[in-house]
Chains A and B, each alone.
Chain A
């Protein structure tokens, strides 16, 4: 085990753990935001640069500070490393700049975007964005395209995190989509608008941090915060059948995987509980699911607003015994 200090909090982690994962073991606001890193996807991370942190001391053996900010999702910890995240002005300054970069070509169409309310870029913009924009140029635009009959790709909103590419690479047999072109004109696309046709292709929607990939069976049906997320399970031959159904009254509006507070699909019985396309797109009938209970959405989201109120007086009572 190696000892590392992040924002003056000491934590012991396995050797080879990244700074980000060490911070996640501490939890709370010590955790840097991550737009591209996805612990369930091998090779992801390092691209969005929102998780940049300052390393004030490289290790106990070599306590020199690292000159540049490092991507915490891809830098392994060393014994005696001292990391500054929320305690560093420099980190905040540069994270604000990265947020600005991510937003210059991103349309501010949250009012009509299906991801609104569960969008990581919204959260990032809220925490690190600035008021107004300094970008006077025309934004790059693409036409929305269908990739397969169930998935809509809005390339305008894409932040090129590559998560969907890794998902397709690691969950499906033959990946037919990837990144084409270079620079700010790079785009996610399928090979000449080929349809993605695979039982697990719908997971690209779950991993997308923004509203670039959306579920066509749910698009424009409802805002996510009007729906009740419920944990549900079903008998499925293709996947574990553990999902979250988003209900309005007795009707199921959409089905997603069970995401944890970092927006990553949870592990159930040691395996990442990706759900298959049949569960996601076709099982909208309540009788096909066993509803297990309400799902707590603990990412600072509007979804949980007014649903699961933590009664502070009750909590206080528990603590003080009065």
Chain B
């Protein structure tokens, strides 16, 4: 059993209340940071921990914090990105729902480190019940003197507010999040300037994922060096993985980075193998936007070494034979699943969620969705497969924000690894339509 830093007390009854959370060692980090550490010390600890952003990009959090511009007399803002909407990712929801005070504690310490007196949690519009839980927890923190003026007599003031989004995936992009928070249409801004220089209301701003902010709590409690001992190489600490798909035990797991993928999928301690005794066909290890891996590349890399749950190991082989850890949305497909159908499903999501600001993404995602729908419904041609590959090459890298890349990668990878399945849909149009996915016995084998 690996160490748990975030979800250790998640199943203690009543942990969502302040009293129980405090009894279980909660808010220790706030006391430690505000009473014994300078803001710079906290930043140094986070840098020493090697913590990497848990939202998907994996950018070192400490480095991100050090980029924050600090002009005199200008307020700075810390925003918590709780707009978790990537298909397959539901770790932040679990964390906020189970143990909301951990996020608030992390927000206080992080805000202190960055010198922010006003911070926001931007929460996804569909998470309304989670918003109520977190709001209640914020009220409790205010009532107990951990938020508001002069926290714990240290002279540090912090106000924490929660802002709901309207349910747009694009608002998880940090500049779109800022626009939305300002009350505007959630269109990503053109960078530069980066939020660290000019963010919310034109002031320096840091946007961090829920899990990154929560991870600051154990880092401050035990020290960055202690945190860095967990994991391998540049992938330090623990990571929440939301495992879903055809698994015996899907759910949110906190793993130590460096666990082998094989152990994670098949060990009874974790996901318990593939449901109904079937074989694994493919796996999307980091949320819908990362490249899909075929069965032979999931547990082993192309060189034959064991694949581990780390940023580096999952990315080994580049996009040709690798993928990404991303946000930790671990989706597993068994042998009966249709990759074309799944790719179409993802493409449909991105076509629906593209903000429509820049032309390659606006038109390209819609185009890919339409072509994939035709292929899936047995109306495709052979040249459509090459057309898809061509379209996503032209979207990738040509857009304002990473949504274009996120839409292009899964399609590119599906064609790269499962081309024969796409071809099967063209050559067997009738069978492609007749397959029934809900009921396994009616399934017609692929190829």
Contacts and interface: CB of A to CB of B under 8 A. Distances in A.
Q: Do A and B share a complex?
A: yes
B139 interface: no
Interface in A96-112: 97-98, 100-102, 104-105
B377 to A, nearest CB: 13
A186 B360 contact: no
B298 to A, nearest CB: 29
B359 interface: yes
Given A74-B190, A178-B185, A186 B356 contact: yes
B355 A183 contact: yes
Contacts of A71: 190, 400
B358 interface: yes
B360 A98 contact: yes
A159 B185 CA distance: 18
B365 interface: yes
A48 B359 contact: yes
Contacts of A179: 185, 356
Contact of A101 (B168, B192, B364, B400): B364
Nearest to B404: A49
A52 B398 contact: yes
Contacts of A276: none
Nearest to A94: B398
A184 B355 CA distance: 8
Contacts of A181: 356
A102 B356 contact: no
B359 A102 contact: yes
A185 B366 CA distance: 9
B435 interface: no
B400 A47 contact: yes
A162 B353 CA distance: 19
B363 interface: yes
A137 interface: yes
A64 to B, nearest CB: 16
A46 B397 CA distance: 13
A264 to B, nearest CB: 19
B234 interface: no
Nearest to B361: A183
A45 B190 contact: yes
A134 B352 contact: no
B365 A47 contact: no
Nearest to B370: A137
A182 B363 CA distance: 11
A183 B399 contact: no
A178 B357 CA distance: 12
Contact of A49 (B192, B356, B358, B374): B358
A104 B367 contact: yes
B353 A182 contact: yes
A184 B363 contact: yes
B320 interface: no
Contacts of A67: 397
Contacts of B323: none
B363 A47 contact: no
A46 B227 CA distance: 41
Given A46-B190, A46-B400, A182 B168 contact: yes
A49 B355 contact: no
B358 to A, nearest CB: 5
Given A71-B190, A104-B363, A49 B399 contact: yes
B378 to A, nearest CB: 15
Nearest to B379: A136
Interface string A45-79: 11111101000000000000001110100101000
Contacts of A159: 359
Contacts of B400: 46-47, 71
B332 interface: no
Contacts of B192: 76
B170 interface: yes
B362 interface: yes
A181 B170 CA distance: 12
A104 B365 CA distance: 12
A98 B359 contact: yes
A308 interface: no
A164 to B, nearest CB: 15
A101 B358 CA distance: 10
A76 B394 CA distance: 24
A47 B367 CA distance: 18
Interface string A238-258: 000000000000000000000
A136 to B, nearest CB: 8
A160 interface: yes
A102 B362 CA distance: 9
Contacts of B371: 137
A34 B366 CA distance: 23
B355 A182 contact: yes
A97 B371 CA distance: 17
B356 A101 contact: no
B242 interface: no
Given A135-B367, A178-B185, A184 B190 contact: no
A46 B190 CA distance: 7
Interface string B358-402: 111011111100110010000000000001000000100111100
A47 B358 contact: yes
B354 interface: yes
Contacts of B399: 49
B352 A182 contact: yes
Interface in A128-153: 134-137, 140
A137 B367 contact: yes
B351 interface: yes
Nearest to B357: A47
A46 B352 contact: no
Kindly name the residue among A47, A76, A179 whose own CB sees the greatest number of chain B CB atoms within 10 A. A47
Contacts of B360: 49, 97-98, 101
A45 B358 CA distance: 10
A186 B362 CA distance: 9
Given A47-B400, A101-B363, A183 B354 contact: yes
Contacts of A45: 190
Given A104-B367, A182-B168, A69 B359 contact: no
10 contacts: A47-B358, A48-B358, A49-B399, A76-B192, A98-B360, A137-B367, A179-B185, A182-B170, A184-B363, A186-B355
Given A94-B394, A184-B362, 6 more contacts: A48-B358, A68-B398, A97-B398, A160-B359, A182-B355, A183-B365
Which 10 pairs between the two chains have the least Cβ-Cβ distance? Answer: A186-B356, A184-B366, A97-B394, A46-B190, A101-B363, A183-B354, A137-B370, A68-B397, A183-B356, A74-B190
